[in-house]
Amino acid sequence: DYKLTYYTPDYVTKDTDILAAFRVTPQPGVPPEEAGAAVAAESSTGTWTTVWTDGLTSLDRYKGRCYNIEPVAGEENQYICYVAYPLDLFEEGSVTNMFTSIVGNVFGFKALRALRLEDLRIPTAYIKT
């Protein structure tokens, strides 16, 4: 259940966050909050293997957060899920690493019927690295 960890509607985005807007069509029976949280998880720390060093790493520092979900006007069961990623999640100066993390793994996720990256805001702090 990704919703408990990765759906954070009270999160206030930071100027340094990378912000992504995904158009999501959940599978039947999957609530939009779970679908949005799954996108945030699978494109950030949700695929990390649990190891003994987890005690040294703060999940909260690195995880993506689905902070807003809006229904798509005129489309049944489609939503725009907004996800914020902290800069620390990505290798400095590597746009390839950033895109691989955000869009590389999440598109085959079974909880979703369809997924499309609609928009991406890359902060100046990342561009300058």
Structure confidence by residue, pLDDT tens digits, 41-81 = 887 765 555 544 555 556 666 688 999 999 999 999 999 99
Structure confidence by residue, pLDDT tens digits, 3-53 = 778 899 999 999 999 999 999 999 999 999 999 998 988 877 655 555 445
Helix (H) or strand (E) segment spanning residue 20: strand 18-26
pTM across the whole model? 0.84
Q: Match 């990704």 to its residue by tokens.
A: 2
What is the domain partition of the chain in residue ranges? 3-127
Q: Taking the mean position of all CA atoms in its chain, how far away is CA 12?
A: 15
CATH code at 3-127: 3.30.70.150
